[in-house]
């Protein structure tokens, strides 16, 4: 039976979420299982995503370390934006055929849009997906495991304050020395690795506009690389905007991303795809 590759899962998830992750084996209830965990949360104050398979399913489960009271407090105190993200990711995954089980303080949560407030002493997340009824090669098995692990990890991260609200970029401003760095405020949705990963999980890493798959052109160097475009400009999102990572985001290559923003307002991805397809068919584009 084909085996799971912990390093493969960690590297691919690391690329999706933009977070440091390590992959290896972890003992759980006397058995050794494939595990992925954030590198900046040292034991015993972090968590792992445990991945396993049976002949029929591949599954991923949250395994909290022994001393994670601070993490549980952060999750229980998550704001409405994070809780909405959690519910949205769960709904998208369920639509895509994943089974999700969540419990807080050993109480099963049936409505994931209403996870409880108050003190959490235990938080459990389990995800699984049925495998096709055929013998799977290692590549296909690990691709299936990647998607299940991504759902589980995304649900956990969605409740943690991991978004970068500010960023530093090189830029020019009157009165500043040439090359001076200025700080630019960016909306939290722009920097959310959870929303980015959910978008990639749905659309894949192929550019929706032109069809470019970086791994086909650059091999392993391009694996999991793709950019995420906001259909609704970030500047138009209010503080209470509930972002849907499938309806509001889409995967595009760097070239198409730049072309979308050459127009004011930005072109839709569908309009850009029409231009590309027209040129491929020999039509002349005069816009």
Q: Is the pLDDT of residue 250 over 90?
A: yes
With residues binned 3-state (H G I as helix, E B as strand, rest as coil), the percentages for the chain, rounded to 5, are 35, 25, 40
Sign of CA dihedral 189, 192, 196, 202: negative
Q: Write phi, then psi, for 57 (nearest 5 degrees).
A: -140, 160
pTM: 0.77
* CA gap 36, 30 in Å, rounded: 18
- Tens-digit pLDDT profile for residues 22-75: 999 999 988 999 999 999 888 888 999 999 999 899 999 999 998 889 999 999
Contact 38, 157 (CB under 8 A): no
Q: CA 213, CA 222: separation in Å to the nearest integer?
A: 8
Ranges in the chain annotated CATH 3.30.1460: 6-158
Q: What is the DSSP letter of 46?
A: S
Q: Residue 133: is its pLDDT beyond 80?
A: no
- pLDDT digits 0-9 by tens, 10-33: 999 988 888 899 999 999 988 999
The larger pLDDT score, comparing residue 163 to residue 148, is at: 148
pLDDT at 168: 34
Query: Over pLDDT 70: what percentage of the chain?
Result: 84
Question: What's the chain's length in residues?
Answer: 287
Q: What is the pLDDT of residues 195-213, one digit of tens each?
A: 888 888 888 889 999 999 9
Question: Is the bond leading into 265 cis (omega within 30 degrees of zero)?
Answer: yes
Residue range 155-184: average pLDDT? Answer: 51
Mean pLDDT of the chain: 83
Query: Is the distance from CB of 238 to CB of 81 less than 8 angstroms?
Result: no
Task: Give me the long-range contacts of 233-241 (CB less than 8 A, separation at least 24).
Answer: 233/265, 233/266, 234/186, 234/187, 234/189, 234/190, 235/187, 237/187, 237/189, 241/189
Residue 42 is predicted with a pLDDT of 84
Distance CA 21, CA 39 (A): 5
> What is 6-158's CATH topology?
Yope Regulator; Chain: A, (3.30.1460)
pLDDT band at 194 (very low <50, low <70, confident <90, very high): confident
Element (H, E) at 95: helix 80-95
Q: What angle do CA 183, 185, 186 make, to 5 degrees?
A: 130
Q: How many CB atoms lie within 10 A of CB 280?
A: 9
């Amino acid at each position: 039976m084909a085996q799971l590759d912990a390093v493969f899962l960690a590297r691919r998830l690391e690329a999706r979420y933009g977070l440091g992750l390590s992959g290896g084996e972890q003992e759980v209830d006397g058995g050794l299982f494939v595990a992925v965990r954030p590198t900046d949360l040292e034991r015993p104050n972090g968590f792992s995503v445990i991945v396993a398979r049976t002949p029929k399913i591949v599954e991923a489960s949250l395994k909290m370390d022994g001393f994670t009271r601070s993490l549980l407090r952060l999750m229980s105190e998550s704001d409405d934006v994070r809780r909405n993200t959690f519910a949205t990711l769960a709904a998208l995954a369920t639509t895509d055929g994943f089974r999700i089980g969540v419990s807080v303080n050993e109480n099963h949560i049936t409505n994931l849009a209403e996870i409880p407030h108050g003190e959490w002493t235990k938080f459990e997340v389990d995800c699984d997906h049925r495998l096709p009824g055929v013998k799977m090669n290692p590549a296909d098995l690990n691709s299936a495991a990647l998607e299940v692990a991504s759902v589980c990890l995304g649900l956990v991260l969605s409740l943690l304050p991991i978004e970068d609200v500010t960023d530093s970029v090189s830029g020019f401003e009157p009165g500043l020395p040439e090359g001076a760095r200025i700080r630019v405020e960016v909306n939290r949705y722009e920097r959310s690795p959870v929303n980015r990963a959910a978008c990639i999980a749905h659309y894949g890493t192929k550019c929706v506009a032109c069809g470019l798959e970086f791994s086909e052109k650059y091999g392993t160097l391009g694996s999991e690389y793709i950019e995420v475009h906001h259909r609704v400009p970030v500047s138009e999102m209010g503080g209470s905007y509930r972002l849907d990572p499938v309806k509001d985001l889409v995967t595009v290559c760097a070239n198409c991303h730049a072309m979308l923003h050459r127009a004011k307002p930005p072109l839709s991805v569908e309009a850009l795809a029409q231009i590309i397809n027209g040129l491929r068919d020999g039509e002349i584009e005069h816009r």
